[in-house]
Amino acid sequence: MKSAASAGTAVFAAALAICPAYAGTGQSAKCDVHNAPCFAVTDTGIEVAFSISPKPVRIMEDLEFTVKLSRKGKPVTGAALVLDLSMPGMFMGNNQPKLREEPGGQYRGHGVIPRCVTGRKTWKAFIAAERSGIVEKVSFLFEVQ
């Protein structure tokens, strides 16, 4: 039997897949995923930390994606998260690694960043977290090796 959070995540992910323009909204913060987690704060004060390992982050390798949510230093739990990886200006297929909630407001999943035939290496991580009907959104631009 699926939990309510799991069912909510499936509906939320389906909505993002149907409405790709939704995933492109907002400002993207540039970050160096090779040296440290990326940080952003949503309009409602949710602190989002995004990291990828192992480092350096390379294309075509199994990667672990971690998103940590907090508010005023306390973990934010029970969120339905969608991580959408895309290449600005070029469609590289749908790439939404499934993130599972872990203790302490951490959400983890595995995936691969594909190789672009043009040699481009700039990627965007769009993170949407839905909790109690409120959707928090942040995005980060990063380079891969």
9-36 tens-digit pLDDT: 444 444 444 333 333 335 577 899 999 9
Q: Which of 2-16, 78-92, 106-120 has the lowest mean pLDDT?
A: 2-16
Distance CA 115, CA 132 (A): 37
Q: Is 0.85 topped by the overall pTM?
A: no
Supply 142's token pair: 């990063």
Preceding peptide of 97 cis, ω within 30°? no
Report the 10 Å Cβ neighbour count for 33.
23
Q: What is the span of the domain harbouring residue 44? A: 4-143
How many structural domains are present in the chain?
1
Report the 10 Å Cβ neighbour count for 134.
11
pLDDT score of 27: 59
Residue 42, domain CATH: 2.60.40.1930
Q: What is the pLDDT of residues 51-71, one digit of tens each?
A: 999 999 999 999 999 999 999
How many Cα atoms sit within 13 Å of 66 on the Cβ side? 17
122-131 sheet: strands from edge to edge: 28-30, 134-143, 122-131, 80-86
- The H-or-E segment that residue 83 falls in is strand 80-86
